[in-house]
Amino acid sequence: MELLEKLCKAGGVSGFEEEVRDILIEEFKKAKCEVSVDKIGNVIAKKGRGKRRIMLAAHMDEVGLLVKHINKEGYVSFVKIGGIDDRVIVNQVVKIRSKYHLKGIVTGVVGMKPPHLQKKKDEKEPLKYEDMFIDIGAKNKKEAEKLVSIGDPITFMPSFEVMNKDMVCGKALDNRLGCYALIKIMQNLPKLDAEVYAVGTTQEEVGLKGARVAAYSINPDYSIAIDITMAGDTPHIKETESNLKLGKGPSITILEASGRGVVTHPEVKEVLVRTATKNNIPYQMDVLEGGMTDAAIIYMSREGIPSGVVSIPMRYTHGPVGVFHRRDLENAIKLVSKTIKSLC
């Protein structure tokens, strides 16, 4: 799991994916792929020759924060990048990627008014990120500006731990799991009568932007997005909201965001299900009321691209840390790899 740990601990807030991109470039080159980077920052790895084009996509970016203001006391105000629940931000240790700091990374703590000093009306009001700040240990604005600047990206504390056997937790599993899968698929891809493109996309968390650009330029015959999805096997989640369970296999998406996202092409869905059944790969079916993947924009590119989604169930999405089951990741890689052969 060393490669996955490296991916998870890298910083890659939307629009600032350089660390993740460098890892993908290195690994794709080791896998003997043709590698390029387009103008928006997507990494595109290519293998094979043939008339048919198959595109795999996994986004490199993660949700995070961005420096907005530094006050006279040296505290940092921030904005959110991507969909983050304000309640999970407070009291977190964060890392500010600063081009001015010698080490390139400044540690901070997200603070707020302590509960001991709050009034009753404060306790009743919902916690908002605008009421928080980041303490970087500076004594004033002048000292703080020597460490960070407006526009610096901020990630949650890098982490990656094996919890119990095959259960693993870490930062930015959304979607470094997909990035890891891309690398492994391209490493083991056999010689096929087709062109296979593995794309590490940018800015998925803020509008699926990189996937739009890549799909237009590649113009594939089929596409599969590899991402994470919401597991439902924790307290307070009803089975009608999500019945996905960790360790029961990757999910095959039928529909995203109640139809506002991808509606998986019947042919792609049939091939994925048939491939899983034929090869005894456990899988789960996923219908999402909220959330979208890169497939939501890929399948509308040009004259339309038949698309599907294979996801790894994960707990605690869009927060400082997530939890997944290692076998779900392994089976997602196996399912996509064998589906590629069926689409050629």
Mind telling me the catalytic residues?
A: 204
Residue 216 has pLDDT above 70, yes or no: yes
Q: pLDDT tens across 298-321, in order?
A: 999 999 999 999 999 999 999 999
Quickly tell me which residue has 């928080």 as its tokens. 132
Please choose, from the candidates 12, 32, 325, the residue with its C-alpha nearest in 3D space to the C-alpha of residue 163. Answer: 325
Encode pLDDT of 75-126 as tens digits.
999 999 999 999 999 999 999 999 766 668 999 999 987 665 566 666 667 7
Please report the pLDDT score of residue 344 as a whole number: 85
pTM here is 0.95
Query: How many Å separate Cα 246 from the centre of its chain?
Result: 18
pLDDT tens figures, 239-250 = 989 999 999 999
pLDDT value of residue 112: 86
Residue ranges and CATH numbers for the domains of the chain are 2-62+171-343 (3.40.630.10), 65-156 (2.40.30.40)
Q: What is the mean pLDDT of residues 33-57?
A: 96
Residue 117: predicted pLDDT: 56
Percentage above 90 pLDDT, the chain: 89
Query: Can you give the pLDDT at residue 282?
Result: 98
Q: Residues 153-212: pLDDT tens digits?
A: 999 999 999 998 899 999 999 999 999 999 999 999 999 999 999 999 999 999 999 999
Per-residue model confidence (pLDDT) at position 163: 95
